[in-house]
Amino acid sequence: MPRCKPTSGYAFSVTGGAHDTDIVGAKLLAGYPSPLQGTLDLRAQNAGKSRWSGAKVFAPDERRIDAVRDLKYLLVIREHQDSSEDHVSADMFVVSRSPAAIVCAFGFEGGERGYGSAGSVVGKEVISVKRTGKVVAERDVVQGASSGSSGAFNARNHLPDSLARNLGIWISYTSAESRPRALPAGLGEYPALKVTAVLEDRGAVAFRTYLSQPFGTWSSWNTDGVRLSVFDLARTGGVVGAEQAIIVSGANGDVMASRLLATPIPSSNALLTRLRSLGFAPSSPVVEEQRDNGFRRYSVRARKGGAEAAVSVLDFSDAARRRGGATMRVEGSKVLLAHGTSPVLGTAEEIATEIAGK
């Protein structure tokens, strides 16, 4: 189905609470009343009855009927078979009333159960790609929790934000105003939120891992053959080039890093040659780490007289040159790397373009 796009053609008004949405038929997301649910219930109560023997219609019932009288679209929620009270995911379809047809679709990842202080971990739940059997994520199975919120509860709270992002509507809990609303342009201040939203809308089951390492913060996602990484070098003083990022601590690091990155460094041996040309001799072996998601890292310590510098290189030349199904985007001190392809989610290039907007 075609992906939904933000447009002013949709309107959503909240008349009695945060969940006056059409959630009829979604067993885990149901539980809050909606105008359509109330109207259908009233109709069922009066099936086969006369105006005298049927249920009496009060003012709230009339308001519900008025609310759905001019209904133009329905949101059909198809919850995944593995959805439970602990975790809800679904496919969302926007259906037009006239003509009756599916207009567009998007994915929904409602989040997991949140626990309080009680409970114990009794095992692991493994998430794998059905087609290949490859394990892409795992999470703890907790029993005995006496506090917290269910996955279904968290999903209901997340539903309005998902609607707003995909349909371009502004959800107000105090009025019926509507206006276009979409994801912010570029990676934004919090790129991990942007990546997670794009993966959700594409129907991915993806969990973020987060590390603090020499190249600032590193967030990564691995799902159905597509791997994504975001490096944020804002607090490390690193310099980002066309094919590499580099951090030099000591020995006037910023200036030295800029000189080293004047042209791409194709290998760790080339880094040693470049350091020697600046009068530095290596004082430690080169530590190199190869990754299969569009980048590799290597580091070395070097000395020049009494000055010593620690040099770390993040090489994403494969992604920069679009080799091996990898691609990248740079926005200031943030680097987005994508690698792989999926018959469901799309290619790394398509996903990176949607995330970065270019």
337: closest CA among 187, 132, 136?
187
φ, ψ dihedrals at 94, nearest 5°: -95, 120
- How many C-beta atoms lie closer than 10 Å to residue 40's C-beta? 14
This prediction's pTM: 0.74
Rg (CA), the chain: 26
pLDDT score recorded for residue 145: 56
Stated length of the chain = 358
Q: Are the C-beta atoms of residues 217 and 232 closer than 8 Å to each other?
A: yes
DSSP string, 193-208: HHHHHHHHHTT-----
CA distances from 85 to 156, 206, 293 (A): 11, 18, 33
**Residue 268 in contact with residue 288, Cβ under 8 Å?**
yes
Environment class of 329 (CB within 10 Å of its CB; exposed 0-12, middle 13-18, buried 19+):
buried
| Whether pLDDT at 174 is above 70 | no
pLDDT grade for 356, boundaries at 50, 70 and 90: very high
Residue 178 has pLDDT above 70, yes or no: no
Inter-residue long-range contacts of 127-136, CB under 8 Å, 24+ positions, other chains counted = 127/205, 127/207, 129/224, 129/225, 136/205, 136/206, 136/222, 136/223, 136/224
Tokens of 63: 């308001």
pLDDT band at 202 (very low <50, low <70, confident <90, very high): very high
> For the chain, what is the largest distance between any 2 Cα atoms, rounded to a whole number of angstroms?
101
What confidence tens digit (pLDDT) does each residue in 12-50 have?
554 444 334 444 445 556 555 567 777 888 888 899 998
At residue 267, φ and ψ (nearest 5 deg) are -160, 170
Short-list 245, 211, 254, 233, CA closest to 320: 245
**Helices of type H across the chain:** 35-45, 59-69, 151-167, 191-201, 253-260, 268-277, 317-320, 348-356
**CA dist 346 to 4, 91, 167, Å?**
16, 16, 21
What is the average pLDDT across 248-252? Answer: 72
Please tell me the predicted confidence (pLDDT) of residue 116.
Answer: 57
Higher per-residue pLDDT: 116 or 235: 235
Express each pLDDT in 321-345 by its tens digit: 999 889 999 998 899 999 999 988 8
